[in-house]
């Protein structure tokens, strides 16, 4: 997200999901779309059915490969060289959009210079992808337009995830595939309202609407609106919060609807941190593994039990409606926070309901200004929606980019090694993936049928590696990293490349994130869970 | 460019768009032509042979209306003695091969075969001469969410085409030949062993009671909302009965999903009714959680939070919660607790 | 190498074989010959020749036609005598080597006939026999004569000259020649091939296909198999000419996996044609490129339907597409313009080009040009694969070529067009055999199956037989065909078991007409034909079954009775001992009595009663 904000001026998906259906080329990199975003995957398949070419770049042979014109099975953590290789082909063959680069972009020269390091021989060696495939992919992407790029955690969850994102945006800028329908740089956001949570400022560095907490203007705007003095320094990120807990810098933790015991990279570190907290409140709908560690557990209302809005991955603000009364004494999260605020004698928390909260949000966030419950009754709106008569924005950057200069910024990149090195002790790379039948774990593990369909964690391993280690299909094995170990059933499959294994992280019985690496991307502070060195032993 | 086309169906003047089929034009005009294999979102296959109509004049012939396009000046009869005779035998043949225990069928009163039979009518004497199946075929209930009952299947192929054309999965197809023809996974394996993704789009479109959701009950009312799983933000219409969620279907009007749902969207709502849901605030006393009232819990939390205001506090919010929940939460963290130590799980 | 050089070389090779002084033994070893034991016969000849150090040449050839004579061996000696020997086995083979190849006795009693000018005393002229005389062997000019695995044999018979000539012609001129010939599709539909090709040429598209339908699925039909096994290059050349004329670069032969020898022979032909430069890039030095692939069908009858066939090649389940739909020439295989023809249609083409369309048009009738190929089977004396000029009468085929009905029985009906065809009674014997006349009579030309039924055949049972086939092979898409044929079959089974009810005939007609009128594809639309035509022409047989519980043909076990003639019974006790249910009682030398209540109508008594007595008779109906 931080990457796109730098190069394009906005971290959100530039285009709309349904526009994918009309694309002529789709590059799906670092996304197992069918499993993680099934409905977006349908648009991709629709496009292919209509004649579009699909390029899949993924270390694992995912379901979408069935539809792909080119499948680039690159080694984990080599996205930058792969994309830079493609861009080098585009420039060498003169397939770039010269007018777009000249009129709408900046910093091209230094980017072009950084491409020098990425000759195809080097790229092939780093990525393990044959040159002719890279050339073919580059030509299709550059010439059969409009071309869309979709990506997901396979790009961001790396120690240099920001570089990966910048490589993606460079590619779109280079060919002018941005600011038009069915093009763009489209990060598929994981959770139903992760886009909304970012938009409304659940981030340590920005207020609602991406207004910097370090900006005096922004601060004074919110101070006067909220009638209090606000801190002028950026807060700690998710992973940093756990470090601070461990070090005793943070004493109280208030956590809503999250289960770091399963989802946090290097989970044992997180558990230790939470156990050190003086006081911890968990607000959730189930007694999760994390809630067990809390001092107070508050029962939240589930999505069907409350009114509100979600903002989906394509910036679409949609109305969530109450279908049921909350179970037992459960309450909506906003109500609980308001009650706490009142007990701490704060003003400005007398909301009669979500509609009023939305009105306050709109008054402070230019992108949401034109959105109100009465408008949402008539249909969803895609931000930016700056005024009541604005119909929303299906795709961004049509006229200019959101950067200070209004230009798309090319970013020079260099090759960095994937997060963790393998060695004699930990000779294989582990990457995490997802299952269609689960979403993290808290909710889906409590739906009987989903557990029949996706019944256990599996370690996907290439037959060549399995043979070397004497592992048979469906055999239980121990996976150990420098941080922990878990036991899991092996699935021998050619869908993995040699030297790389993969696991999901949906099962408390098999806490994959005990293994993963929490080294952060220096800019976005996203942990590098997609690459971690492991050793596999038979039990 | 669509042009307007004037034709006559059963003597009525009908205005249709060019490229439209006779069946669509008739249905739009409110003229019912019996059909089973037609579905407006799918390519026509003309398999059920019920929608036969007669075109009069210089093109005079009997055609299937689901695949024949309207033409200017066309004169169409949807009912003639010849067509009725073929249709009636057709319906009798389907019924003779069908498990007609309608009252025990979830599609009762909503069934397309009932409607067809009602419209066309049957000759009881002829029907009685036909041989009923000796025994019912085994039901495929391998999938945890839905059941396929081949005895109630009319082989319209709508599920097969949905899986192919709408979902691009191709998990099911016709298998075997002759009277043994049925819809199944590759090699007549159960659906659970196929590459079925359990999206349930076939169940939604099954015109009869062959594909039904397990434990299905009809809701007393329905509410339009948004799915709570991934970032696609699909529109879902939840069915409620006795303050419990009992059904979910895609919201056709939703601009992100256009009525489609995946397995989690369609069946994943069931967690809301799970008995393990937290129903009361709980406070840990001597290492064990004790249920308490809201006032006690909130007072305890407020007292403790008051001790560590500023940067000694951190709030982690949820990307599952609503915008309003999160707005209030970050406002609480910033304005009440006085810190920017606020984040959520966006990076995971 | 230039084609003229290739041809010269091939002709030299052929000449060397024909003119060599050593005896030549040609053994018909297509699937038909092999199943009769041709390979064992061939082995005997080989072993014997080697053992005795005889200088002779053994050549495996295809099928010559007269199935009832298999294994058929043709021995040509240097004096020009050319004798066909019928039903050759190991013993005869040894005798032939001993007496004819080493000696001079042609063993006339084993001979079927001679071919050519050289007469042999005591042996008839084969081409003058009733089986061959009315035939016109044009399509089959090579079969049983050349070695189908040797491309030079084919080339020497003017093979690939048609392709060579075509490549010098304009595409439209090639098509014009086919149009002049009047060739109609030999798969049964009878659509003019030239017009189809014209449409294929006119269809826009870079990518076009030629598809050869070799999914011969009719029970009792083996014309296409024989063509592919005995003269594969003719089919291949015809496809290449078609490919050139419409601008296609790829052809598929959709052949049943049950035809392993045909597949092997055809694949061998493809390989040889590549080596010669008749397939691949720059064929015969031109810009034309063409390749052919053999696609094995999995044995579904319905895949013989063109749209189901193309779906099957595409990797889908073979199911016909409902009309209205674009023509195959506009949207066929992989949705690209496609010309799809039957094996025989393609096999005629090379000769149409070399001999001219007018030559072909000179054979046959006004609307049905050329020759027709039939697999003549059933209750005729001479079964076989025959080729006759269009317009010949059914009578001539059955009574002259076929040699009449076996065992001196009476002719009852002729069934053409496979399971979708109809049964015609003796009143139609003088019907000319062509597309339109057969259709008018209620049957069809079909792809060439012709089954002769005699008086012992029950027409209800024969309808049941064909319907049983059709219902099993229904693709299952439309109810009328899937359930309708099955329900009709149930009623027919009831009738043959004496459970027929009044009104069943009318119900069969109603349902049959609905199935024919309402079904989705050609298979369904003709599925009821055997039932409808047998009811039309043999209604009284149905009525006898239903009303009198009697099978006049004595074929339906439940509807006959066995009686012991008191006058003829000599009390030999053989029948009583044979009876499995002890229904026959009687002392030795006394007239036996059959208890009708105990009798299970197995017919053992009838079979066992000594021929000199013939005391047991079988009568229609049930005697109480």
Contact B173 C517 (CB under 8 A): no
| CB proximity A280 to B under 8 Å | no
- As a whole-number percent, the residues of chain C with pLDDT over 70 amount to 100
Question: What is the residue-wise DSSP string for C316-329?
Answer: S---PPPSS---TT
| Cα A226 from chain centre | 31
**Which 3-state string (H, E, C) describes chain B?**
CCCEEEEEECCEEEEEECCCEHHHHHHHHCCCCCCCCCCCCCCCCCCCCCCEEEECHHHCEEEECCCCECCCCCEEECCCHHHHHHHHHHHHHHHHCCCCCHHHCCCCCCCHHHHHHHHHCCCHHHHHHCCCCCCCCCCECCCCCEEECHHHCCCCCHHHHHHHHHCCCCCEEEECCHHHCEEEEHHHCCHHHCCCCCCCHHHHHCCCCCEEECCCCCCCEEEEEECCCECCCCEEEEEEECCEEEEEEECCCCCCCCCCCCHHHHHHHHHHHCCCECCCCEEEECCEEEECCHHHHHHHHHHHHHHCCHHHEEEECCCCCCHHHHHHHHHHHHHHCCCCCEECHHHC
Mean pLDDT of chain A: 88
Instruction: Indicate whether B346 pLDDT > 80.
Output: no
The pLDDT, as a whole number, for residue A518 is: 58
Q: Which residues of B119-153 are buried (b: 16+ CB within 10 A; e: fewer)?
A: ebebeeebbebbeeeeeeeeebebbbbbbbbbbbb
Task: Judge whether residue A159 has pLDDT over 50.
Answer: yes
The residue of chain C nearest to residue B97, with distances taken between CA atoms, is C483
* Chain C residues inside the 8 Å CB shell of B126: 507, 510
Residue B4 has φ and ψ, to the nearest 5°, of: -85, 135
Q: Which two tokens stand for residue C418?
A: 């496979």
Confidence class for position B347, pLDDT limits 50, 70, 90: very low
Percent of all residues in chain A with a pLDDT value above 70, rounded to a whole number: 95
Q: Are residues C317 and C311 in contact, defined by beta-carbon separation less than 8 angstroms? A: yes
Here the tokens at position A406 are 């209004």
Q: How many residues does chain B have?
A: 348
* b/e sequence A198-225, b meaning 16+ C-beta within 10 Å: bbbbbbbbbbbbbbebeeeebbebbeeb
Q: A450 falls in which pLDDT band (50, 70, 90)?
A: confident
CA–CA gap between residue A524 and residue A205 (Å, rounded): 11
Q: Which residue of B has its CA nearest to C303?
A: B177
In this prediction, residue A207 has a pLDDT band, given cuts at 50, 70 and 90, of very high
With a CB cutoff of 8 Å and minimum separation 6, the contacts of C113 are C83, C84, C123, C124, C125, C126, C127, C128, C129
Domains and CATH numbers, chain A: 2-188 (3.40.228.10), 191-235+301-392 (3.40.50.740), 238-299 (3.40.228.10), 428-538 (2.40.40.20)
Run of H or E residues at C508: helix C504-518
Chain C nearest CA to B154, separation (Å): 8
Residue C242: per-residue pLDDT: 98
Predicted local distance difference test score (pLDDT) of residue B348? 44
Give the pLDDT band of residue C99 (cuts 50, 70, 90): very high
Backbone angles phi, psi at B229, to 5 degrees: -95, -100
pTM: 0.90
Averaged over C230-236, what is the pLDDT? 97
Over residues C358-369, mean pLDDT: 95
pLDDT at residue A520, rounded to an integer: 61
pLDDT per position as a tens digit, C304-342? 999 999 999 999 999 999 989 999 999 999 999 999 999
Subunits adjacent to chain B (3 or more Cβ pairs under 8 Å): A, C
Which of C480, C482, C503 has its CB closest to that of B181? C482
Whole-angstrom Cα distance, residue A453 to residue B284? 36
- At least 3 CB pairs under 8 A between chains B and A: yes
> What order of strands is seen across the sheet that includes strand B244-250?
B221-226, B235-241, B244-250
What's the pLDDT score for residue C494? Answer: 96
For A215-236, write each residue's pLDDT tens digit: 999 999 999 999 999 998 999 9
Q: Is the pLDDT of residue B1 over 90?
A: no
Q: Which residues of C touch B46 (CB under 8 A)?
A: 322-323, 520
Nearest by CB to B90, which of C323, C486, C518? C518
A67, A252, A265 member nearest B313 (Cβ): A252
Q: Average per-residue pLDDT in chain B?
A: 93
Burial class (CB in 10 A: 0-12, 13-18, 19+), A509: exposed
Residue appearing with tokens 């039957």: C342
Q: Which residues, in sequence order, are CB contacts of C418 under 8 Å at separation 6+?
A: C188, C217, C218, C219, C220, C221, C446, C447, C449
pLDDT at B319 over 70: yes
Of A194, A321, A527, the CB nearest to B223: A321
Cα distances from C298 to residues C255, C303, C505, in angstroms, run: 9, 9, 36
Separation between Cα atoms, residue A315 and residue A396, nearest integer Å:
10
pLDDT band with cut points at 50, 70 and 90 for residue C534: very high
Q: Which residues of C touch B65 (CB under 8 A)?
A: none
- What is the pLDDT, as a whole number, of residue A442? 63
| Chain A environment of B255 (Cβ under 8 Å) | 18, 316, 379-380
Q: Phi/psi of residue C29, each to 5°?
A: -130, 40
Q: Do C478 and B48 touch (CB under 8 A)?
A: yes
Binding-face residues of B in 177-236 toward C, CB within 8 A:
177-181
* Å between A323 CA and nearest CA of chain B: 6
pLDDT of B128 above 80: yes
ipTM: 0.90
3-state secondary structure of C358: helix
Q: Do C517 and B157 touch (CB under 8 A)?
A: no
pLDDT of amino acid A530: 67
Q: Which residue in C322, C483, C514 is closest to B47 by CB distance?
A: C322
**Secondary structure (3-state) at A145:** coil
- Exposed, middle or buried by CB within 10 Å (0-12, 13-18, 19+), for A38? buried
Mean pLDDT on C76-84? 92
Q: Per-residue pLDDT tens for B217-243?
A: 999 999 999 999 888 999 999 999 999
Chain B residue numbers with beta carbons less than 8 Å from the beta carbon of A524 are 347
B122 to chain C nearest CA, in Å? 14
CB C608 within 8 A of CB C614: no
Residue B280 has pLDDT above 50, yes or no: yes
- Min Cα distance B45 → chain C (Å) is 6
Q: In chain A, what percentage of residues exceed pLDDT 90?
A: 52
Q: At what angle do helices C343-355 and C223-230 cross, to 10 degrees?
A: 50
Q: What is the pLDDT of residue A524?
A: 61
- Mean pLDDT score, B77-97: 96
Check whether C236 has a pLDDT greater than 70: yes
Relative to beta strand B313-316, strand A252-256 is: parallel
The total of other beta-carbon atoms located within 10 Å of residue B87's CB is 23
DSSP A413-470: ------SS---SSS-EEEEE---TT-STTTTGGG-HHHHHHS-S-EEEE-HHHHHHHT
**B300 contacts in A (CB within 8 Å)?**
296
Cβ neighbors of B233 (< 8 A, separation 6 or more) are A192, A310, A311, A312, A313, A314, A316, A318, B226, B227, B256, B257
Q: What Cα–Cα distance (Å) separates residue B58 from each residue in B73, B80, C27, C179?
A: 11, 18, 59, 29
Domains annotated on chain B, with CATH: 4-130 (3.10.20.740), 217-277 (3.30.200.210), 282-347 (no CATH)
CA C511 to CA C248: how far, in whole Å?
43
pLDDT score, position A161: 82
**CB contacts, 8 Å: A526 with chain B:** 347
pLDDT band (50, 70, 90) for residue C623: confident
pLDDT tens for residues C275-311? 999 999 999 999 999 999 999 998 899 999 999 999 9
Of the candidates B87, B97, B174, the beta carbon closest to that of C483 is on B97
Give pLDDT tens digits for B154-163. 999 999 999 9
The DSSP 8-state label assigned to residue C280 in this structure reads: B
Gap between the terminal Cα atoms of chain A: 41
* Coil/strand/helix, residue C366: coil
The structure tokens listed for C343 are 């094996």
Give CA–CA dist A13/A184, Å, rounded: 8
Question: Which residue of A192, A208, A222 is in closest CB contact with B320?
Answer: A192
Asked if pLDDT for residue C47 goes beyond 80, the answer is yes
C and A make contact (3+ CB pairs below 8 Å): no
Q: How confident is the model at residue A538 (pLDDT cuts 50, 70, 90)?
A: confident
Mean pLDDT of B288-308: 93
- Per residue in C55-65, pLDDT tens? 999 999 999 99
Q: Which of C232, C298, C219 is nearest to C261 (CA)?
A: C232
Say if residue C578 is exposed, middle or buried (CB neighbours under 10 Å; 0-12, 13-18, 19+): middle
Q: Is C610 exposed, middle or buried (0-12, 13-18, 19+ CB in 10 A)?
A: exposed
């Amino acid at each position: 997200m931080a990457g796109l904000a730098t190069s394009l001026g906005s971290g959100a998906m530039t285009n709309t999901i349904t526009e994918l259906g009309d694309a002529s080329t789709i590059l799906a990199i670092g996304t197992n779309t069918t499993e993680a975003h099934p409905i977006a995957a349908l648009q991709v398949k629709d496009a292919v059915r209509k004649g579009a070419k699909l390029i899949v770049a993924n270390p694992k042979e995912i379901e979408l490969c069935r539809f792909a014109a080119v499948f680039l099975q690159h080694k984990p953590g080599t996205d930058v060289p792969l994309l830079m290789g493609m861009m080098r082909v585009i420039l060498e063959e003169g397939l770039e959009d010269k007018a777009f680069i000249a009129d709408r972009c900046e910093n091209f020269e230094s980017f072009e210079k950084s491409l020098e390091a990425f000759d195809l021989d080097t790229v092939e060696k780093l990525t393990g992808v044959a040159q002719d495939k890279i050339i073919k992919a580059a030509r299709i992407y550059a010439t059969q337009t409009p071309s869309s790029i979709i990506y997901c955690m396979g790009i961001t969850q790396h120690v240099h995830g920001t570089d990966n994102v910048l490589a993606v945006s460079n590619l779109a800028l280079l060919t002018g595939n941005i600011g038009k329908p069915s093009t763009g740089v489209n990060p598929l956001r994981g959770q139903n309202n992760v886009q909304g949570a970012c938009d409304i400022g659940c981030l340590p560095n920005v207020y609602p609407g991406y207004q910097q907490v370090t900006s005096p203007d922004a601060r004074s705007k919110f101070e006067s609106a909220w009638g209090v003095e606000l801190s002028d320094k950026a807060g700690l990120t998710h992973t940093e919060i756990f470090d601070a807990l461990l070090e005793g810098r943070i004493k109280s933790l208030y956590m809503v609807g999250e289960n770091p015991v399963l989802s946090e990279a290097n989970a044992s570190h997180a558990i230790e941190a939470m156990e050190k907290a003086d006081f911890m409140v968990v607000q959730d709908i189930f007694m999760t593994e994390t809630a067990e560690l809390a001092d107070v557990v508050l029962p939240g209302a589930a999505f069907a039990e409350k009114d509100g809005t979600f903002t989906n991955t394509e910036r679409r603000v949609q109305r969530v409606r109450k279908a049921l009364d909350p179970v037992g004494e459960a309450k909506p999260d906003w109500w609980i926070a308001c009650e706490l605020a009142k007990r701490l004698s704060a003003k400005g928390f007398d909301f009669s309901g979500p509609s009023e909260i939305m009105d306050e949000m709109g008054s402070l966030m230019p992108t949401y200004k034109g959105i109100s419950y009465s408008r949402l009754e008539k249909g969803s709106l895609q931000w930016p929606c700056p005024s009541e008569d604005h119909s929303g924005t299906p795709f961004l950057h049509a006229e200019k980019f959101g950067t200070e200069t209004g230009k798309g910024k090319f970013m020079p990149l260099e090759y960095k090694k994937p997060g963790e090195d393998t060695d004699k002790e930990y000779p294989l790379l582990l990457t995490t993936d997802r299952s269609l039948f689960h979403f993290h774990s808290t909710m889906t593990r409590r739906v009987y049928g989903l557990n029949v369909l996706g019944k256990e964690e599996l370690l996907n391993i290439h037959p060549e590696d399995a043979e070397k280690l004497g592992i048979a299909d469906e055999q239980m094995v121990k996976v150990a990293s420098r941080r922990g170990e878990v036991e899991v059933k092996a699935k021998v499959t050619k869908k993995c490349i040699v030297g790389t294994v993969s696991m999901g992280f949906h099962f408390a019985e098999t806490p994959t994130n005990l293994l993963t690496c929490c080294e952060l991307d220096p800019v976005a502070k996203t942990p590098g869970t997609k690459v971690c060195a492991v050793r596999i032993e038979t039990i | 460019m669509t042009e307007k086309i004037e034709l006559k169906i059963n003597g009525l003047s009908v205005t249709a768009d060019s490229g439209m089929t006779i069946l669509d034009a008739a249905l739009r005009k409110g003229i019912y032509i019996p059909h089973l294999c037609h579905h407006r979102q799918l390519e026509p296959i003309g398999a059920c042979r019920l929608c036969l109509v007669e075109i009069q004049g210089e093109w005079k012939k009997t055609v299937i209306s689901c695949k024949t396009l309207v033409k200017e000046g066309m004169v169409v009869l949807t009912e003639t003695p010849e067509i009725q005779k073929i249709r009636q035998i057709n319906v009798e043949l389907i019924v003779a091969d069908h498990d007609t225990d309608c009252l025990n069928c979830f599609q009762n009163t909503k069934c397309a075969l009932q409607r067809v039979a009602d419209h066309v009518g049957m000759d009881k004497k002829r029907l009685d001469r036909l041989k009923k199946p000796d025994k019912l075929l085994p039901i495929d209930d391998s999938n945890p969410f839905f059941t396929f009952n081949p005895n109630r299947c009319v082989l319209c192929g709508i599920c097969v085409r949905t899986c192919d054309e709408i979902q691009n999965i191709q998990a099911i197809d016709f298998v075997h030949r002759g009277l043994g023809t049925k819809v199944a996974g590759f090699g007549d394996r159960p659906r659970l062993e196929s590459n079925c993704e359990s999206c349930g789009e076939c169940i939604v479109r099954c015109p009869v009671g062959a594909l039904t959701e397990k434990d299905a009950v009809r809701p007393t009312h329905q509410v339009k909302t948004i799915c709570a799983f991934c970032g696609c933000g699909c529109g879902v219409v939840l069915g409620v009965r006795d303050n419990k969620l009992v059904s979910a279907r895609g919201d056709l009007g939703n601009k992100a999903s256009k009525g489609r749902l995946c397995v989690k969207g369609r069946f994943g709502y069931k967690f809301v009714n799970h008995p393990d849901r937290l129903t009361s605030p709980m406070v840990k006393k001597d290492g064990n959680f004790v249920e308490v009232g809201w006032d006690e819990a909130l007072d305890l939390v407020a007292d403790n939070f008051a001790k560590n205001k500023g940067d000694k506090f951190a709030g982690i919010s949820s990307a599952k919660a609503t915008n309003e929940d999160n707005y209030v939460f970050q406002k609480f963290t910033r304005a009440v607790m006085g810190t920017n130590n606020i984040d959520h799980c966006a990076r995971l | 190498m230039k084609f003229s050089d290739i041809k010269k070389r091939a002709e030299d090779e052929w000449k060397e074989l024909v003119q060599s002084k050593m005896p030549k033994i040609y053994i018909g070893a297509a699937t038909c010959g092999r199943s009769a034991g041709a390979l064992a016969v061939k082995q005997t000849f080989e072993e014997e020749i080697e053992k005795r150090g005889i200088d002779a040449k053994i050549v495996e050839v295809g099928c010559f036609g007269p199935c009832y004579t298999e294994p058929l061996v043709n021995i040509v000696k240097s004096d020009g005598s050319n004798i066909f020997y019928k039903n050759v086995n190991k013993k005869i083979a040894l005798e032939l080597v001993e007496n004819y190849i080493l000696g001079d006795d042609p063993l006339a009693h084993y001979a079927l006939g001679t071919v050519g000018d050289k007469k042999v005393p005591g042996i008839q002229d084969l081409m003058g026999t009733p089986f061959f005389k009315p035939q016109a062997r044009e399509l089959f000019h090579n079969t049983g004569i050349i070695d189908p695995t040797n491309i030079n044999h084919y080339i020497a018979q003017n093979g690939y000259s048609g392709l060579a000539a075509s490549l010098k012609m304009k595409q439209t001129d090639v098509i014009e020649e086919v149009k002049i010939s009047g060739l109609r599709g030999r798969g049964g539909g009878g659509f003019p091939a030239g017009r189809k090709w014209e449409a294929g040429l006119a269809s826009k598209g870079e990518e076009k296909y030629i598809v050869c339908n070799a999914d011969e699925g009719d029970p009792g039909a083996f014309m296409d198999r024989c063509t592919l096994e005995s003269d594969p290059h003719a089919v291949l050349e015809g496809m290449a000419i078609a490919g050139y004329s419409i601008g296609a670069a790829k052809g598929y032969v959709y052949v049943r996996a049950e035809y392993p020898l045909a597949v092997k022979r055809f694949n061998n032909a493809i390989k040889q044609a590549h080596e010669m430069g008749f397939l691949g890039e720059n064929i015969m030095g031109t810009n034309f490129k063409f390749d052919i692939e053999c696609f094995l069908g999995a044995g579904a009858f319905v895949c013989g339907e063109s749209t189901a066939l193309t779906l099957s090649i595409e990797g889908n389940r073979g199911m016909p597409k409902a009309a209205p739909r674009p023509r195959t020439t506009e949207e066929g295989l992989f949705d690209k313009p496609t010309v799809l023809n039957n094996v025989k249609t393609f096999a005629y083409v090379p000769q149409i080009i070399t001999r001219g369309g007018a030559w072909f048009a000179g054979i046959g009738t006004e609307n049905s040009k050329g020759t027709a190929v039939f697999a003549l089977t059933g209750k005729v004396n001479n079964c076989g694969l025959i080729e006759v000029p269009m317009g010949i009468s059914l009578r001539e085929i059955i009574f002259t070529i076929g040699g009449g009905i076996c065992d001196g029985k009476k002719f009852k009906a002729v069934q053409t067009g496979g399971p979708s065809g109809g049964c015609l009674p003796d009143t139609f014997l003088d019907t000319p055999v062509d597309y339109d006349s057969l259709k008018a009579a209620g049957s069809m030309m079909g792809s060439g199956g012709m089954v002769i039924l005699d008086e012992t055949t029950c027409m209800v049972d024969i309808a049941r037989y064909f319907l049983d086939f059709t219902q099993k092979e229904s693709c299952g898409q439309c109810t009328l065909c899937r359930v309708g044929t099955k329900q009709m079959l149930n009623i027919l089974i009831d009738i043959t078991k004496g459970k027929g009810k009044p009104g069943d005939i009318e119900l069969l007609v109603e349902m049959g007409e609905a199935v024919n009128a309402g079904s989705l594809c050609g298979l369904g639309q003709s599925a009821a034909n055997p039932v409808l035509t047998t009811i039309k022409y043999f209604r009284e047989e149905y009525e006898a079954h239903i009303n009198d519980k009697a099978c006049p043909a004595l074929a339906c076990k439940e509807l006959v009775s066995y009686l012991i003639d008191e006058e003829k019974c000599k009390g030999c006790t053989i029948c009583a001992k044979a009876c499995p249910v002890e229904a026959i009682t009687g002392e030795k030398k006394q007239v036996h009595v059959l208890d009708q209540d105990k009798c299970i109508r197995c017919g053992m008594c009838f079979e066992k009663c000594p021929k000199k007595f013939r005391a047991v008779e079988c009568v229609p109906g049930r005697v109480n």
